Structure 1
């Protein structure tokens, strides 16, 4: 399914002291990506449901909430209540991803799963029908500003083939090292949505950076 590129700035790279203003600065984006880290599943700590709720109040854009946390099934309701449009959890962090996806969908929220760079995608292809989104990590999760891992695009191509052959409406998203130098190759591999942190918030005009990334992905 051919889509317009979805650009999702990550507020992990924003200035937390003026988060409302930073979110408003990318009002031309498609989604806002919210990275949740617990200091256990990944070796870093970010923020939780209260900040997510505050972001939801400050924008009309859909919140793409990425849970890099242990036992996500214990926490998803907090993020549903905080206004998440899609909740993405890691398959490495839960024993029953399909059950969790059904919980999310039954609550009226889109369900997504993510895989770390070292996790193969093939074991999860059979459950694609249960999901709305798959997030391929092209860096090790937990820290912003890492270098893009082009070998992860093999997973994207595998997903693209499986989704297209089965006629599924599942978005392929990529997160990690996405910039003006890497977004075109991710798009060519079959990505629909692109998370960008420093490539947006590290520029003088975040809105202009969003537009430029969208143009590069469209090519």
Structure 2
């Protein structure tokens, strides 16, 4: 079953706690928390204090996406704030394997995020310490961008490679995941959907309705 995770950078920050509670009750599977440093990507978002402030409001996993330079320097901070999963970018650290192993050693799931132009081959020698892979279907930094169509092919290639090599690794997709793109990413192997303004945070549409629609896509795929 495909897992649904709201991207909290798209939420109303003035009412974040109540939003987390409503999303939890509406049936999301995890929460996706984007952390940006204004250097690796041209934006700033959630910090550890904000993550910690909402940790007690839900038992669902916190998936912390570190879009920061030298993520190894920030692991302890976000682990202590309540992360259950942490993903890092291949380009952001010199010691990718060691950083992923450190995340695992601390009892969390370790993820690698691939920017649209980052080749799958970057994973070749770290794949044995990876629990999930995030395919960025837009360039990271801002919400509301257009889905990059070539990411369907990249997703399919990654899915085929994981199956061929016999690894048990989840594939997450992040960026303009909505009505027009969900069927395609599911067909090409996505296991986890990071959902923002294209599917979940829509004006005047209840979370329950949006989540039911997302889950229905998965049911339709299973029937076909």
Both structures adopt the same fold (TM-score exceeding 0.5): yes
Give the aligned partner of residue 24 of structure 1: 21
In 1, Cα distance between equivalents of 2:118 and 2:180 = 25
Q: Counterparts in 2 of 1:106-185, with a 5 A limit?
A: 106-185=105-184
The TM-score, its normalising length taken from structure 2, stands at 0.93
Moved more, 171-180 or 116-125: 116-125
Residues 87, 110 of structure 1: 8 Å contact kept:
yes
Tell me the alpha carbon deviations over residues 35-83 of structure 1, each in whole angstroms, 9 at most, x when there is no partner. Answer: 1111111000112111111221211110111011111000011111111
The whole-number CA distance in structure 2 between the counterparts of 1:36 and 1:117 is 18
Q: Name the TM-score, length of structure 1 as normaliser.
A: 0.95
Query: Can you list the C-alpha shifts for 1:102-124, whole angstroms capped at 9, x where unaligned?
Result: 10011001100101111111231
Gaps of 5+ in 2: none
Deviation at 1:165, TM superposition (A): 1.5
- Structure 1: distance between partners of 2:187 and 2:117: 22
Conserved? CA contact 1:23–1:59, under 8 Å: yes
CA contact (8 A) 2:116 2:136 kept: yes
Worse overlay, 157-166 or 129-138 = 157-166
Runs of 5+ unmatched residues, structure 1: none
Q: How far apart are residue 155 of structure 1 and its match?
A: 1.9
* RMSD across aligned positions (CA): 1.1
Partner of 1:200: 200
Contact persistence 2:114–2:134 (CA under 8 A) = yes
Does the CA contact (< 8 Å) of 1:178 and 1:194 recur in 2? yes
Q: Cα–Cα, structure 1 residues 148 and 217, in superposed 2: closer, same or farther, change >3 Å? A: farther
Tell me the secondary structure at the aligned position of residue 138 of structure 2. coil
Displacement after TM superposition at 1:33 (Å) = 0.5
